[in-house]
Amino acid sequence: MAAQVAVIDRSEAADWDEALWQQPAANIYASRSWGDYKGRLGWAVRRLALCDNGEDLAYIQCQERRAGPLRRVLVQGSPVLTTRGQSRAEAVLAAFLDHLALRPADLLAVKSYRPQDPEGITALLSHGFVPVIGGKDHTIELDLTPGAEAILAAADRRWRREVKKAEGQPDLTAVFLTDRDERLRAFDTFVRMYAALQQRKGFSSDLDTAAYRDLAASDPHLLFLEIREGGEPILVRIVHTARERWTDFFTASNERARATGAASFAVWRIVERACEAGAGRFDFGGVDPAGNRGVFDFKRTLSRNVVQGGPTWIYARNTFVRRAAATALFLRRI
C-alpha cells in the first residue's frame, strides 16, 4: 500500500502555506514561518507532500538534526492529513517512514498539540509509535459554536465580573495590530514583559525571541492583541489561528494588567473575534494546575473542559532505542 503513496519534496514550493492552511488540521508548527524559525536554530527543515495519483493526502514539515552518527527527526504539529488522506493515514505514515530510511539508532518524534483524529492515532499505533504523555500535555478548550453571548452567560461569574470591570474603564482599550512595524514594536514589548515575568516567577522558555521576532510579525496566522491603558501597553497576547481552532500562544503583561482585569479583557476580545471568524474551538494553550495554579484557575473561569492536547509519539527501528527514548522523555515530564 505504501508504494502507492508518493513523497514529494516541496521545501521550496511558494504555495506550501496556501495548500496547508486549507486543511482543517492545519497548525502553526507545520507552516513555513515556523520551519524558517527552526532552521535558524540549526535544524535542517524539509516540507513534504504525500500524494496519490496527483492528489495530496498529507503535508509534513520535518526537522532534522545530526550529532555524530545519531540522527533525530522531529515532526511538530503531526502530519496534516487532507480529507482524503484521513482514510489513508496508515499508508501515508508508511510512505513517510520509507522515505526517511531510518537507521536502527535514529529517532523520530511526532508531537501533537491538539486532540488527534482517530485515524491518525490508529496509524501511529499500527506502526509501533510509543505515546509519551505528561501532565503538561493537557489544555483547556472552549467550544465557540454557541456564540459569544451564550459563552459569556455560561461563564463563571468571576469571569463576567472581570470583563465588565475592564469594559467599564474608558482608558482601557484592546487593539488588534495588523501593521508590521506595530507588530514588531508589540513583540519587543512582549519580550520585555516576558523577561520580567520569567525573572519574577523563575520559569524558563524554549522560545528564541530574537530568532522569531521578524517571522512572527510577518505571519498572517498570528493574531497580535495589545491592551493599552491611557495609550500605554500593559499586556500583549499572541494567538495562532486556523480554520477550526484558535490557540493561545504567548502572553505577557505588567502589574497594571492585574489591577485592570486586562487578562480577562484580552481573552474575551479574542474569543469574540474567533466567533466572528467562524472558528469552532479556542485552545488556552496548555494548563499546569500543579505548577501554576493561579493561571489554571484563571483559565477555567471561562471553561472547565480540560482535554489531552496530544502526546509525543516516539519511533525507532530498534525496540530498545525506542523504549529508552520514550522512558527518558517521560522522566523529563514528571
What's the pTM value of the predicted model, to 2 decimals?
A: 0.93
Per the CB < 8 A criterion, the answer to whether 45 and 215 are in contact is: no
Per the CB < 8 A criterion, the answer to whether 106 and 73 are in contact is: yes
Per the CB < 8 A criterion, the answer to whether 96 and 7 are in contact is: yes
Q: Terminal CA-to-CA distance of the chain, rounded, Å? A: 39
Beta strands in 152-272 (DSSP E): 172-177, 222-229, 232-241, 245-253
179 C-beta neighbours (distance < 10 Å), count:
11
How far, in Å, CA of 73 to CA of 317, rounded?
A: 13
What confidence score (pLDDT) does residue 200 get? 80
Q: What is the pLDDT of residues 94-107, one digit of tens each?
A: 999 999 999 998 99
How far, in Å, CA of 42 to CA of 29, rounded?
A: 16
- Mean pLDDT of successive 10-residue segments in the chain (334 residues)? 79 96 94 97 97 95 90 94 94 96 93 87 94 89 97 94 94 97 98 89 85 97 98 97 94 93 96 97 92 90 91 89 79 62
User: ∠ at Cα 245 (179, 177), nearest 5°?
Assistant: 15
Q: What is the pLDDT of residues 279-317, one digit of tens each?
A: 999 999 999 898 889 999 999 999 999 998 889 999 998
CB contact set of 320 (below 8 Å; sequence gap of 6+):
none
What confidence score (pLDDT) does residue 67 get? 84
- Give the three cell numbers for residue 242: 486556523
What confidence score (pLDDT) does residue 1 get? 41
Per the CB < 8 A criterion, the answer to whether 69 and 276 are in contact is: no
How far, in Å, CA of 243 to CA of 11, rounded?
A: 23
